[in-house]
Amino acid sequence: MEIKGKNAIVTGAARGIGRGIALKLAQAGANVALVDLGDPADPALTYNLAAQAELARTVAEVKSLGVKAAPILADVTRFDDCKRMAREAADALGGVDILVNNAGIIAIGMVADFSEAQWDRVMAVNAKGPFLCAKACLPYLARAGGGAIVNIASIAGKTGRAGAAAYCASKFAVVAFTQALAEELGPSNIRVNAVCPGYLRTAMWTEVLNKAAGAWGDGAGDNLEKISRHGTFLRREQTPEDIGEAVVYLAGAGNVTGVALNVAGGAEVH
């Protein structure tokens, strides 16, 4: 599928991986609806989510690349919000051809100490969110005669790790959902794939994982640099731009569906 001139929705688009995806899609000529919650505070989390000002800056960056860009505030855990998101994106851009389910959160802790509220919140955003967004966008993708859904999973959805059970479980769910939905939607010419990022310097890492990386690093300093150097074949961390390039490929690869593509420098090869 030719990306240029197509209309894409990216959730969790204000910063980090979502920003990288939105910019790469725009560089490829796609119009982009950038979706984010716009509320930094979440009582189940130990770090702040993106603010509306960050979303506005990313929208301006996308527009500067010569494509249409529309900001949309929505909670991906609420179906009414997801339906409004799809409708507003279609109205602003002229349709929906690509959906990128990127919105995600993390909470860490050993299962014995992990709260039910934290578990429910992680699963709601990371696993239920892609389901609701896909469900809301399906009528628009069908109207376009087909299209692409790309779910952002994680290498944590391939191999579980102690202290991150909820996050890992949610990302395993995303991979399974991707496979099942790909089979369901194949006859409608809608391809469904996933990207599994590795080690990235985003808020999830700097604000959460690096502070608790004693199990993987030495518990001090820049654990991302240490883990990337010793835990990947390519000896380097990944970037939001790397993930964006993979999304652009999967959005346009006309005969690829049902895959969960690792973008992890060799940290995960299964």
Q: Compute the distance between CA of residue 242 and CA of residue 197 in angstroms, rounded to an integer.
A: 9
Phi-psi category of 148—alpha, beta or left, where left has phi over 0 and alpha has psi -120 to 50? beta
- Residue 47 bears catalytic tag: no
Q: Compute the distance between CA of residue 177 and CA of residue 166 in angstroms, rounded to an integer.
A: 16
Task: Look at residue 107 and give its three-state secondary structure.
Answer: coil
Q: Which of 268, 201, 207, 257 is nearest to 234 (CA)?
A: 268
Alpha helices for the chain (secondary structure H): 16-27, 52-63, 79-93, 116-123, 129-143, 165-185, 203-204, 223-231, 240-252
Which member of 47, 140, 167, 249 is catalytic?
Answer: 167
Torsion, CA 6, CA 105, CA 39, CA 65, rounded to 10: -30
Place of tokens 């990235």: 200
Length of the chain: 270
- Any idea which residues carry the catalytic annotation? 167
